[in-house]
Amino acid sequence: MTLRRKSLLKSLISSLLLPAFAVMVVGVFIVYHVFNDEYDELFDASLTSKAHLLLAFIESTSGETGQTDGGADNLLSFDANLRAADEHLLFWYLDSAGDILAQSASVGDLTLPAGLPLGISTAPDYRFLALAATRPVAGTVIVAEPTAERTEATTDVVTGVVVGFALLGLLFAVASFWAVRRSVAMIADLSGHIAQKNEHNLSPIDRHNAFVEITPAIDTLDSLMSRLDGALAAERAFATNAAHELRTPVAICLAHVQRLRTQLDDPAQAGNAAEIEAGLKRLVRLIERLLQASRAQSGLGLNAVEMDINPVISLLMNEMQNRGPASDALVLKPPTGQWSSRVDPDALGIILNNLFDNALKYASGPAPTVIDASQSGRVVVSNDCAPLAPADLEAIKKRFIRRATLSDGYGLGLSIAQDLCRQSGCTLDIVSPKKGSTRGFAAVVTLPQRAAQP
C-alpha cells in the first residue's frame, strides 16, 4: 500500500479558505433575509401610514352615498412626483358589495385581485393593504404598492454584500496564501537543513527558520545528534588509534619473519614462515583498509580549492604500472588535457587504488585489465572475469561482502570507494558483464566540474 504524501501548503490553504468561503455564503444568506425582513417592515409601515391617511381623507370627504370628489389623487400626488410611473402608489375605494366607487388615475389596466383580506397581503408584483371604512357608508379602502422597488433595493444590497465579501475573501485568500507560503517556506528550509545531516555532518541545526512551537523538537534532535556524533567520533578514533598502534608491531613482526625465512634451511619450516609472512601481509592490508575507512568516515572528499586532477590520475597509474603485473596483463590509457575539480587528491587516490586492486585481484580471464582515463573526467577500470549476477552486483556494494569467500580481501575496498565518491561529488557505476562483452566487470568513476580543454 502506497502512503499518499500530504502537502502542508495545500492542507493549510484548504483549511483556511474552505471555512472562509462557507462563512461568506452563510453571511450573504443571513444578510439577505435580515435585510429583506427589515425592508419589508419599513415599506409596510410606509404603506400603512399612507393607507390610513387615505382612509381618513375618504371618510371625511365622501358624501352620504360614499362618492368622492377625486381629491384622493391630489392627496397622493406627492408620491407620483417622487417616484417613477411604474412605482406609483395605487388605491381603490370599494363599497360593501365590492363595487369600485373610486380609484387612482394610475391604475390603468391593472385588475384588482378578488377576495383580498383585510390587512397586508401580496399578489404578483404588488403589495396590498386593505382597510375597512365605516363612514359615511361601509366599504373598503385598498392601497397597492409595486414590489419592484423592494426587489431592486434588496438586489442592490445583496449584490453589494456579495461584491464586498468577494473582495474581502480575495484579500483574505491572498494574505492567507502569502502568510502560509512564507511559513511553509521557512519550514521547508528547516527541513532541508535537517535533511543535509549525515554521519559526516552532525552540527547543530540552524534555528534561523525555526518556529517557537518546534524548538523543543529541534532541541531533542540536536541532543541526539550530539550523542551520535560523539559515538561516531569515538568509533573512528578507536579504529584509527588501533590501526596506528598495530602498524609498528606488525611491521616489526613481518621484518623478523622475513629475516627468519632467509635463515631457515628446512623447507617445511620455511613454508611455515612463508604462511606467517602471508598472514602478516594480509594484516597490514587490513590495517591500511581500516585507516582508509576511518578517513572516509571523517568526511574526506572535497578540496578547498579547484585544481587540475589529471596529474593525480597519471601519478596513480604510474604507481600501478610499477607494482602491477606484466605489461601484457595490464593496459593503461592515461588522461590528456586538463580537468579542474575540487575532488581531494587523497580521496581520489584511495578510490582509484581500491578499484585498481580489486580489478587485479579478481581478474581470471585471458584479456588484460584495462585502466582507461583517456576520456576527460572519467576513469574506467575493467577486468576479465566471470560475469556477476545482479544480486551479487548489489551485494558487493555492502561492507564486508566479498565476491569469493576464499579471496584475499576484506570486503571494504568498494564500500570505501563508494563513500568517498558520494562525499566528493563523484559518481561510481559498476556493471557486469562489460559493455559489448559477455564477461568481465567494469567500474566507472565520473569526476565533477568539467573545465575547458586547452
- What pLDDT sits at residue 443? 92
- In this structure, the answer to whether residues 208 and 231 fall within a common structural domain is yes
Which among 299, 331, 354 is the end of a domain?
Answer: 299
- In this structure, the answer to whether residues 440 and 323 fall within a common structural domain is yes
For residue 146, what are the β-bridge partners?
Answer: 126
- What pLDDT sits at residue 403? 61
**C-alpha dihedral sign at 49, 51, 53, 59:** negative
191: which 3 cell numbers?
A: 527541513
Confidence grade of residue 361 (pLDDT, cut at 50, 70, 90)? confident
- What pLDDT sits at residue 326? 65
Residues 6 or more apart from 154 whose CB is under 8 A from it?
Answer: 32, 35, 36, 39
- In this structure, the answer to whether residues 101 and 208 fall within a common structural domain is no
- In this structure, the answer to whether residues 288 and 333 fall within a common structural domain is no
**142-146, 170-174, 272-276, 303-307: least confidently modelled range:** 303-307
Mean pLDDT (the chain) is 79
- In this structure, the answer to whether residues 215 and 353 fall within a common structural domain is no
Task: Return the DSSP state at 327.
Answer: G
Q: Which residue has the higher pLDDT, 312 or 93?
A: 312
- In this structure, the answer to whether residues 252 and 360 fall within a common structural domain is no
For residue 443, what are the β-bridge partners?
Answer: 381, 430
- In this structure, the answer to whether residues 385 and 355 fall within a common structural domain is yes
- In this structure, the answer to whether residues 278 and 316 fall within a common structural domain is no
Task: Return the DSSP state at 364.
Answer: -
CB 76 within 8 A of CB 50: yes
CB 350 within 8 A of CB 298: no
Which among 155, 187, 214 is the end of a domain?
Answer: 155
- What pLDDT sits at residue 445? 92
CB 111 within 8 A of CB 61: no
Which among 139, 155, 171 is the end of a domain?
Answer: 155
Instruction: Tell me the residue range of the domain where 230 lies.
Output: 199-299
- Cut 0.75: pTM above it: no
Number of domains the chain contains:
3
Query: Among 330, 341, 333, which Cα is nearest to 302's?
Result: 341
83: which 3 cell numbers?
A: 417616484
Structural domain includes residue 135: yes
- What proportion of the chain, given as a percentage, has pLDDT over 90? 3
- In this structure, the answer to whether residues 227 and 145 fall within a common structural domain is no
Is the pLDDT assigned to residue 380 strictly greater than 90? yes
Query: Among 297, 382, 381, 311, which Cα is nearest to 343's?
Result: 311
320: which 3 cell numbers?
A: 600501478
Is the pLDDT assigned to residue 309 strictly greater than 70? yes
**32-36, 270-274, 283-287: least confidently modelled range:** 283-287
Residues 245-263: tens digit of each pLDDT: 777 888 888 888 888 888 8
Confidence grade of residue 442 (pLDDT, cut at 50, 70, 90)? very high
Residues 89-140: tens digit of each pLDDT: 787 877 777 777 777 777 777 778 877 888 888 888 888 888 887 766 677 8
Q: Is the peptide bond before 448 cis (omega within 30 degrees of 0)?
A: no
For residue 160, what are the β-bridge partners?
Answer: none
Mean pLDDT of 65-92: 56
Phi, psi of 408, rounded to the nearest 5 degrees:
-85, 70
- What proportion of the chain, given as a percentage, has pLDDT over 70? 83
What CATH number should be reported for the domain holding residue 100?
3.30.450
- In this structure, the answer to whether residues 289 and 414 fall within a common structural domain is no
Helices and strands per DSSP (H, E), number in the chain: 10, 12
Buried b (16+ CB within 10 A) or exposed e, 270-309: eeebeebbeebeeebbbbebbbbbbbbbbebbebeeebeb
- In this structure, the answer to whether residues 219 and 87 fall within a common structural domain is no
- What pLDDT sits at residue 1? 46
Is the pLDDT assigned to residue 83 strictly greater than 60? no
Structural domain includes residue 346: yes
- In this structure, the answer to whether residues 204 and 132 fall within a common structural domain is no
Is the pLDDT assigned to residue 62 strictly greater than 80? no
Structural domain includes residue 192: no
Is the pLDDT assigned to residue 156 strictly greater than 80? yes
Edge-to-edge strand list for the sheet holding 378-383:
330-333, 369-372, 378-383, 441-446, 427-431
Structural domain includes residue 89: yes
Q: Which residue has the higher pLDDT, 224 or 322?
A: 224
Structural domain includes residue 119: yes
**238-247, 315-324, 349-358: least confidently modelled range:** 238-247
Query: Among 378, 314, 377, 308, which Cα is nearest to 340's?
Result: 308
For residue 127, what are the β-bridge partners?
Answer: 122, 145
CA atoms within 13 A on the CB side of 77: 6
Mean pLDDT of 296-319: 79
CA atoms within 13 A on the CB side of 152: 7
- What pLDDT sits at residue 262? 83
Mean pLDDT of 395-420: 70
What CATH number should be reported for the domain holding residue 275?
1.10.287
Confidence grade of residue 451 (pLDDT, cut at 50, 70, 90)? very low
Structural domain includes residue 242: yes
Structural domain includes residue 164: no
What CATH number should be reported for the domain holding residue 439?
3.30.565.10
DSSP E strands, 135-243 = 139-146
DSSP E strands, 224-352 = 302-308, 330-333, 340-343
**C-alpha dihedral sign at 281, 285, 286, 287:** positive
80: which 3 cell numbers?
A: 407620483
Residues 6 or more apart from 217 whose CB is under 8 A from it?
Answer: none
Cα 286 from Cα 284, distance rounded (Å): 5
Which stretches of 62-132 are DSSP H helices?
71-75, 77-82
Query: Among 362, 381, 360, which Cα is nearest to 370's?
Result: 381
Kindly give the pairing relationship between strand 119-123 and strand 126-133. Answer: antiparallel
Structural domain includes residue 451: no
